[in-house]
Amino acid sequence: MRKEREEGLSLVDVLWRLRTKVLLNHHDEECVDFLPWLERKAGAEISSKLYVGKSACGRSLFASKSIKTGDCILRVPYNVQIAPVNLLPKVASLLDNETGNVAKLATIILTEQKRGQESEWAPYISCLPQPGEMHSTVCTIFWSKSELEMIHQSTVYQETIKEKYQIKKDFLKIKAALDHSPEIFDSITLEDFMHAYALVRSRAWGSTRGVSLIPFADFANHDGVSEAFIINDEDKQVIADRDFAPHEEVLIRYGKFSNATLLLEFGFIVPDNIHDQVQIHVDIPNHDFLGEMKLDVLRMHHLPTTRYANDSEFSGDSFIIKEVRSPRGKGKGLPQSLRAFARVLCCNSSQELIDLAMEAAQNDGRLARRPFKDSSREIQAHEILLSRIIHLIKEYNASMKSLEPVAPSACKRFALRRQMALDLLAGELRVLESAYTWLNNYCATLLQHSTTND
């Protein structure tokens, strides 16, 4: 107690510290003063029911007392959120409109870190994960080229390359701006910027006023099946989705995110993620003599098509598929837009394309949404999808097989990333296999009906 009093803490703070020391079983010495400090800064209560503690996934929020379903467990007013407008005016004036909000928030973190104890945000900044901490460097932007190759099947691969490019672009702009202000920041490295960028990506939320860091709320860890989330309002609130006993970890849902998104933005994945998805490309082959007509019909009906690098080579589209939960025909099956695309792709006469366009005009205007009347044509359309999916399944299996088990002497970081790559691919493979089962079943049922009718 004398030590705390010597640190200049008020009696209330000392009592809070003693109380939490007794209560906490995930005690986090470094964060004990953080919430009282934030509440003083906000001039309002932020949470009477939660504390910041330690978990297997870095810091986390825990119940400090019993929580009932429907209780408001935290509210962070806008005046203690960190938004791009908090960027020092001198630095802001040197940045153009193309500099993204994530880069601006990352710059705020770096400049506040530099100010050390003089920073008005010092108690918050000092609780953020440090560059060396394992969980903060798992995001794929930190993966090497060969590590990224492990997941080249997944959209995360391309997204990471795009993101790394954007980070470098933003870094050069920020560096140029800070070089004009050596009194604020003498030298900034790409590594420092990437770390700050990853911190922002994994803990900033969007709101009616743009993107901001939400101190305290951003210590909540993610559970994809939780119904508690940060309400997209100016003051950020979270409402408990169930009862919690004292000291239970309180998880929230960041969003209905696939493992691809979780890995890219937050650096972790969850097993059996119900939000997993796969992006598949379906192309109109360049040898298709009806290719141009098919493209015209698709565009006339507002189905987006992409012409790839060389106009004469491929045209096609990308579709997101999620796990198809019921192979027996119940539930949603594959996206209707993908099945419509396959029906158009399957047409082998201009008359068939005209018939599809007429059918759309006579109904709700949407192209190829109804099954072909001729069930053998309907089967052929879906077999195009089946063959695409079988091809992808083979590729995923081959990629996973090539990820040899790591030697016991391999570095811990590589072993972790390899395991994440395997888990990511396994989740996407599960989605593809569910689509395969659904399509197979659909075609078999159609075949059975047509032979019965014959």
User: Which residue ranges make up the site for ligand SAM (CB under 6 A)?
Assistant: 57-60, 129, 135, 202-203, 218-219, 221-222, 266-268, 270
Q: How far is the CB of 420 from ligand SAM (least distance, A)?
A: 10
- Yes or no: say if 52 and 31 are a contact pair by the CB < 8 Å rule: yes
Query: Which whole-number Å values give the CA distances from 418 to 127, 399, 421, in the listed order?
Result: 29, 12, 5
On the 0-12 / 13-18 / 19+ scale of CB atoms within 10 A, 178 is: buried
Residue with tokens 């791009």: 84
Write down the least CB distance from residue 109 to ligand SAM, Å: 13
Residue 257 or 341: the one with the smaller Cβ distance to ligand SAM is 257
- On the CB side of 149, CA atoms within 13 Å amount to 6
> Which C-beta is closer to ligand SAM: that of 59 or that of 388?
59
Alpha carbon distance 10, 14 (integer Å):
6
- How many C-beta atoms surround the C-beta of residue 365 within 10 A? 10
- Backbone CA torsion sign across 118, 122, 126, 129: negative
Between 270 and 360, whose beta carbon lies closer to ligand SAM? 270
Residue 425 C-beta: closest distance to ligand SAM, Å: 18
For residue 135, the minimal CB distance to ligand SAM (Å) is 4
Complex with ligand SAM: residue 141 or 298, whichever CB lies closer: 141
Rounded CA-CA distance 171/187 in Å is 12
Nearest distance from C-beta of residue 67 to ligand SAM, angstroms = 19
Q: How far is the CB of 138 from ligand SAM (least distance, A)?
A: 7
Select the residue whose beta carbon is closest to ligand SAM and give its number: 58
Give 202 or 207: the residue with its C-beta nearer to ligand SAM. Answer: 202
Nearer to ligand SAM among residue 211 and residue 435 (C-beta): 211
Shortest distance (Å) from residue 119 CB to ligand SAM: 18
Q: Residue 306 corresponds to which tokens in the numbers above?
A: 């992409």
Residues in Cβ contact with 103 at an 8 Å cutoff, skipping those fewer than 6 apart: 167, 170, 171, 173, 174, 197
Between residues 214 and 439, which has the closer beta carbon with respect to ligand SAM? 214
**Helix residue ranges per DSSP H, 281-411:** 291-300, 336-346, 350-362, 375-402
Among the listed residues 157, 159, 155, 79, the one whose alpha carbon sits nearest the alpha carbon of residue 121: 79
CB nearer ligand SAM, residue 198 or residue 345: 198
C-alpha of 198 from chain center: 12
CB of 270 to ligand SAM, least distance (A): 6
C-alpha span between 351 and 349 (Å, rounded): 5
